[in-house]
Amino acid sequence: MADEEDVLIEKDSKENFSSWLNRPFVGEELRKELAKANVLMVPMEGVRERKDLNFPSGTEGLLEFLKENARDGMVPDICIDDKDFKTLVLHDVTIILGSFVVTALLAPVVADLISEYLKKEIWPDKPEETKVDFKMTIVESDGTSKELSYNGPAKTFEKTIGTRLKAPKTAQSTQRLPSKEER
């Protein structure tokens, strides 16, 4: 695993708040509640060919952390009814943080909070080699969306994501991070 490259990938996305709020599993009452959110944790679909919707282990703690540390105007929520919430525990050294849909304005704030969460809640208990898997769909004010996917060391998450979110929109769509030998 140490020989694998750590990658940040950016690609166009058709996903946005509306596409998630209009999924068949989102009832009318939940849709009204979720319409207030500008940070939305979304379920994993089709993991290991499963048909049910799942969230990674630790989702509840991360959502609680985001709510407790929300900056002004930030409204985090989860795109599932409480009765349908299921976690999928995968035993690996990779921490799956999950998938998020966020407004472009809040993307850097959410990334900072997740970095803080990793340092305070996860990092003290995990080995140095811990990897993070994270996806964030960023919805621009004009309705277009980009998906950022990060799979790499927890220790470089903040720098990598933070650098990309501060970079101009014309930045490379795929950034290869230096291998352990190159660092």
DSSP 67: H
CB atoms within 10 A of CB 95: 20
Six token digits for residue 142: 């004009």
Look up tokens 């709020």; give the residue. Answer: 21
Name residue, tokens 């509640």.
33
- Residue 100 vs residue 2, higher pLDDT: 100
pLDDT tens profile 102-123: 999 999 999 999 999 988 876 6
Report the length, in residues, of the chain.
Answer: 183
> Does residue 182 register a pLDDT over 70?
no
Closest CA to 76 of 94, 100, 54, 52: 100
Residue 41, SS3 per DSSP: strand
Q: 7 pairs with which residues across the strands? A: 151, 176
Using left for φ > 0, alpha for ψ between -120 and 50, and beta otherwise, residue 182 falls in alpha
In the chain, domain spans: 7-176
At residue 67, what are phi and psi to the nearest 5 degrees?
-65, -45
Please state the pTM of the whole predicted model. Answer: 0.81
Q: Which two tokens stand for residue 10?
A: 């950016």
Distance CA 95, CA 139 (A): 25
Cα-based distances in Å from 130 to 105, 146, 154: 29, 26, 6
Of 83, 72, 81, 8, nearest in space to 38 by CA: 72
More confident residue, 130 or 160: 160
Q: What is the mean pLDDT of the chain?
A: 82
The pLDDT, as a whole number, for residue 175 is 38
Both tokens assigned to 96: 């799956």
User: Which uninterrupted H or E stretch holds 131?
Assistant: strand 131-139
